[in-house]
Amino acid sequence: MTSSIPVQPVVMAGGSGTRLWPLSRAGYPKQFLVLSGNQSLFQQSVLRLQSLAGADITLTPPLVVGNEEHRFLVLEQLRELRCEPAAVLLEPLGRNTAPALTLAALQALEDGADPVLVVTPADQTVTDAAAFTTAVQQAVRRAADGSIVILGITPDRPETGYGYIRTDGEAVAQFVEKPDAATAQRYLEAGGYYWNSGMFVLRASSWMKALERFRPDIAAATRAAFAERQIDQRFVRPGREQFAAVPSESVDYAVMERCPGSGIGLCMVPLAAGWNDLGAWDAVWQVADKDAQGNAVVGDALLEGSRNTLVHATSRLVGVVGLEDVVVVETPDAVLVSRRDRSQDVKKIVSRLDGQQRDEHTAHRKVHRPWGWYDSIDAGARFQVKRIMVKPGASLSLQMHHHRAEHWIVVSGTAEVSCGDKVMLLTENQSTYIPLGEKHRLRNPGRLPLELIEVQSGSYLGEDDIVRFEDTYGRS
């Protein structure tokens, strides 16, 4: 009887998704957004990998590699799926996908096992789940013998936004950079060319062996960072100083593109499963449900005389008249209007926002926190108004502010307020005042969400005017 193949799902959840601005931002990037279906792209990735178990394949809980800033988003979205991860590896700073995969491989090898890693980005969508499962299970069986396997997407159009893989039978012969339109058309007509999905299937030891051959500097530096790791329940944090010394490189450049002709077994399994990496708003339009005029609408929008247009409204009514092949994305603090065929250039707007040190590329007006969220609904000289929601049983840190006082008015639920030496319970329509410089804490002791309005007043109202004394979530 054939022994079962141990498989370790690995979800790469880093990245900022700048080309899907203004919906995707550094503090809440696209992998955690619901862009198709009822789950976020990250959740869809986790669920797809859970379907891989078979008679000869044994699945372990997923490893997630992500950003320190997004750790509570990861845990909350996994909790919604009732999925307990094997570990969440937190990169202290971005070093691209090769070091991220190396962290996962080192973690997978920790207990002496050598599982097959099924590595997928967290920001892709697949419409044919059965075809995905069949292809990945085939890749797992190939990778069990030590081969490195890439999932290549069967192209259905001359796409210029993806890198390509040229194959010779099942073997990968060459990686090709993003082509121009004429070259992409030639690839489509010639056959034997596939889109590079960024999904890899390989044993943990196979990755480390290839990396140590082609990029020993990345292997050694990542090992050093992993050796200095700190473990906090499911969170695994590599040494920050050591990880900062790791060269930044992608999986493709570090290893995959060096494999053809090297003697390392690199093969490709074709995947025809309605795959899309949702890399820009045009890709979101392609996978969206459309009306008879080719328009895709999310939210409250009215279209008149428009064709092949995407409208995504989040907070108000959007009217569109006489537009064709256009993207309109509305959020409470920013609006994007772009030609669909120029949607890749949205990242240039994000770059300009960054250069001007504006906040609209990093955070939404509504900011998620491990305890709930706050929405900055109004601001002016020396005042700011926020709507705050605290989850049942959750609490903010014990803190104080040097430059602002706060008024809290409970809208719904029950608030336990600590202010100095006093502790009080407030319910609907009751309020309290937090003087400048006073230690205070807000907690929801109830079973329902707590909502309140906070009015801040003072000479400086930035989020960095918080001195934390105690915090449930380990924030400094």
Give me the pLDDT at residue 306, please. Answer: 98
pLDDT tens figures, 1-41: 457 899 999 999 988 778 899 999 988 999 999 887 789 99
- Could you give the strand order of the β-sheet that contains 450-458, starting from the edge strand earlier in sequence? 366-369, 372-380, 383-390, 450-458, 404-412, 431-434
Q: Cβ of 230: how many Cβ atoms within 10 Å? A: 11
Q: What are the tens digits of pLDDT across the range 43-66?
A: 999 999 998 988 799 999 999 999
* pLDDT for 409 beyond 90: yes
Mean pLDDT computed over every residue of the chain: 92
Residue given tokens 């770059």 in the structure block: 351
Contact present, 235 and 86 (Cβ < 8 Å): no
Half-sphere exposure of 244 (CA within 13 A, CB side): 2
Instruction: With a cut of 70, say whether residue 141 has pLDDT above it.
Output: yes
Question: Could you tell me which CATH number the domain at 366-470 has?
Answer: 2.60.120.10
Region 334-343: mean pLDDT is: 96
- The model carries a pTM of 0.89
What's the pLDDT band for 69 if we cut at 50, 70, 90? confident
Q: Is the peptide bond before 22 cis (omega within 30 degrees of 0)?
A: yes
pLDDT attached to residue 44: 95
Q: What is the pLDDT of residue 234?
A: 86
Residues 194-249 pLDDT 10s: 999 999 999 999 999 999 999 999 999 999 999 999 998 889 999 999 999 999 99
Helix (H, G, I), strand (E, B), or coil: what is residue 34? coil
For the chain, give every domain's residue range: 5-271, 281-354, 366-470
CATH number for 5-271 (one of 3.90.550.10, 3.90.930.12, 3.30.750.24, 3.30.43.10): it is 3.90.550.10
